[in-house]
Chains A and B, each alone.
Chain A
Amino acid sequence: MQIDLIQEARRQAEICNACRYCESYCSVFPALHRERAFADGDITQLANLCHNCRGCYYACQYTAPHEFDLNLPKALAEVRRDSWESFAWPQPVARKFHTHGSAIALALVVGLALLFVAIRSIGSAGGIGFYAALSHNAMVAIFMPAFLFPLASIGFSLRRYWQSVGGKAIKLAHVTSALRDVAKMKDLAAGHGDGCNFEDEDRFTHARRYAHQAIMYGFFLCFASTSTGTIMHYVFDIQAPYPLWSLPKIFGVTGGILLTAGCGWMAWLKLRSERELGDAGAWGGDLGFIALLGFVGFSGLVLYVLGVTAAMPTLLAFHLGAVLSFFVLTPFTKMAHGFYRLAAMVRNAQS
């Protein structure tokens, strides 16, 4: 962890702790007000609780040009990204993507190329539908490790996080409390329930909350689509392609629409927001990630619409290549925040 970032966040947190005007905006302030002094782990935990809703910044009487120069959303955003990079495994790639949108684009190109090569060299082995382009076994061979590696990596990282923030044994109540808040995205609604400040200075709107929910639920639906497909394939021996009124298709199409629209909306909001109230260094990486995630959804939808045309193998390569890159990059991009946020909220439910 970078000491200077933690030190700056600590300086600001101490001022906040003497003020306390913001205590009902989000989960950060009640957690902050429980402490008299802030250890490094406390700051890391506060940083990962923060959803960058900016309510505290716009309400703050101590922002620049005041000499206290408070900008807590920024200070916490920088500590937060540094914590993800510091806890990431393996370390050599930890700091390559959060701050480098171009690296994410490059990873996408590599993913696409791999899929083109796979389709060309492995081919169908006599399958139908998408399996006519790339056999089911080949897909599993590529995506099983691409799915398991990030999971293992995130697992290592969360362990380190948990140790650094002094986490205790987890009880079911902690998890349900955290999941309840995630489901409603409570911390983007502020204590008054009217949303956060993001795209139009101090105006409270639900735009970011709803965009984020579209992405999150869209992602879960896409994931549910793949999972139900897998179950139908292995448990019930029902092979793709599936009809429209099947679980994989219903989940996949609605999820794809939500994911695509949500990412587009989020990128639009982000472009209108004040860059200096967040982690300006990760601006490119964050936008690159949103674009990648949106492309995963969008390419999936296109594949659904044009899947029976001659363009299918190409479209399949685009979609699966994007999914491959997305999976592998999960521990090293903004995608990691979901795991850390949940962990931070579980930790918060413990105190």
Chain B
Amino acid sequence: MTPYDIVIIGGGNAALCAAMTAAEAGAKVLILEAAPKPYRGGNSRHTRNFRCMHSAPMWPLADAYHEDEYFADLLKVTGGKTDEHLARMAIRASEECLPWMQDHGVKFQPSLSGTLSLGRTNAFFMGGGKGLVNAYYRTAQKLGVDVLYDAPVTHLELSGDQVTGVDYTHEGAAKSVSPKAVIVASGGFQADLDWLTRAWGPAAKNFLIRGTPYNRGVVLADLLAQDVQSVGDADQCHAVAIDGRAPKFDGGIVTRLDCVPFSIVVNKNAERFYDEGEDVWPKRYAIWGRLVAAQPDQVGYVIIDAKSLELFMPSVFPPLKSDTLEGLAAQMDLPVGKLQETVAAFNAACGDTTNFHPTELDGVATTGLTPAKTNWARPITEPPFYGYSLRTGVTFTYLGLKVDANAQCHSNEGPIKNLWAAGETMAGSILGQGYLAGFGMTIGTVFGRIAGREAAKYAN
């Protein structure tokens, strides 16, 4: 077997950026991707854009997006739980990444329709993340990178301050390889529902996993068990409210529901539990993941009427529909009387709706209702009535490997000489909570390239 300088664990954006960078620096690289070829790319398959600093217009990005604004946007969503040094480093490096990505095959397009005016801050991949992943695999293979699919890593042999072996399985057989350097880029652990349940409690059994079923955190757990330094808490994850009928895994983008601001949302007891109109949906969908997780059976029910049906992006599955609230309650298995009572109370609390404006905070609010609905509060009166179920959809987990500015992993004794990490598996080093659209790809690209560069430097 070819002696490899570098083994990269994982096959998504960060892994590929590391692989291409290392190969261009002359290293012989092997990618061990746990997924079969059609599912290669981890959660990068489901992504669609890259948040990018730029001091002047840079196609496809308009205007400018400076470091301080970018960092301020990040602080807003993380509530200050951010490693400023690493975050600013990632932000500054993002600018030179954009042309680098294009040089390595990524195609961009103007901002997607139906997205929250991200045309200035985020560069969209044509065809989405799988298009990016496909392009990177082609480029990596041209650079001589070898790729094994269906090759999950089971164990890293750590002795003293270095990794001496990588155990994996391939085509049903246990294999081992001893490269000079190892880069871990195999994501979080959210697809391991048992782990999620240990961290979250039994409620996690009802969570849906929005992304790949292959991010089971095997390598992460293995390294943590060998006292590699970690960052983040196991019970921190990015979770949003999605269509309750979504597949258990890999539902991706289409399972989102944008109708909450125009609705009332009740739990299985037909009681409202939060202000549905607090802010525009893109700023609130992550909060709703946790709100729904806190309800009995971790489920919510969205109810709208005919006048709101066309105000949001089409859903992947058609809504439940009935000419009466009783009919809808029956379809959703909600207590009929209680639902009628809740809707009646809500309707009675609605006031003047003439200022209703679906795309801005319109201040059309309820009065005297708890919880209040502070925007877009229009009575639910016009049949047919439509309903969706809502469940918690986990995007990724924050518990990960703690890295330094060189993407290097550490034990309690100091840096591990030949171990680096990039992407979701170390994103907790930068983000303690919250999420900013397109920042995951920024972290993966920036730290993937750093890890590739550092590992190649070490291996050479």
Mark A residues whose CB is within 8 Å of B.
Answer: 14-15, 17-25, 33, 36, 55-56, 58-68, 190-192, 194, 202-203
Contacts and interface: CB of A to CB of B under 8 A. Distances in A.
B109 A20 contact: no
B127 A55 contact: yes
B39 to A, nearest CB: 8
A192 B126 contact: yes
A24 B110 contact: yes
Given A20-B114, A21-B128, A23-B109, 12 more contacts: A14-B314, A25-B126, A33-B113, A58-B131, A61-B130, A61-B252, A61-B253, A64-B38, A65-B38, A68-B254, A192-B126, A202-B134
Chain B interface bracket (under 10, 10 to 19, 20 to 34, 35 or more): 20 to 34
A7 to B, nearest CB: 14
B28 interface: no
B109 A24 contact: yes
A14 B319 CA distance: 13
Given A63-B38, A64-B38, A18 B314 contact: yes
B127 A18 contact: no
User: What is the interface of chain A mostly: helix, strand, loop, or mixed?
Assistant: loop
Interface of B: 38-39, 45-46, 48, 107, 109-110, 112-114, 126-131, 134-135, 138, 247, 250, 252-254, 256, 310, 313-316, 318
A15 B250 CA distance: 14
Contacts, number: 85
28 contacts: A15-B316, A17-B314, A18-B256, A18-B315, A19-B253, A19-B254, A21-B48, A21-B253, A23-B112, A25-B126, A25-B127, A33-B113, A33-B114, A56-B127, A58-B127, A59-B126, A59-B131, A61-B45, A61-B46, A61-B129, A61-B130, A61-B250, A61-B253, A62-B252, A65-B39, A68-B247, A68-B254, A192-B126
A14 B316 contact: yes
A152 B82 CA distance: 71
Of listed A21, A59, A64, A191, residue having the most chain B CB within 10 A:
A21
B104 to A, nearest CB: 14
A20 B129 contact: no
Contacts of A203: 138
B330 to A, nearest CB: 25
A18 B112 CA distance: 12
B316 A21 contact: no
A203 B138 CA distance: 8
Contact of B109 (A17, A60, A62, A192): A192
Contacts of B247: 67-68
Contact of B107 (A64, A66, A194): A194
A63 B252 CA distance: 12
B316 to A, nearest CB: 4
Contacts of A22: 127-128
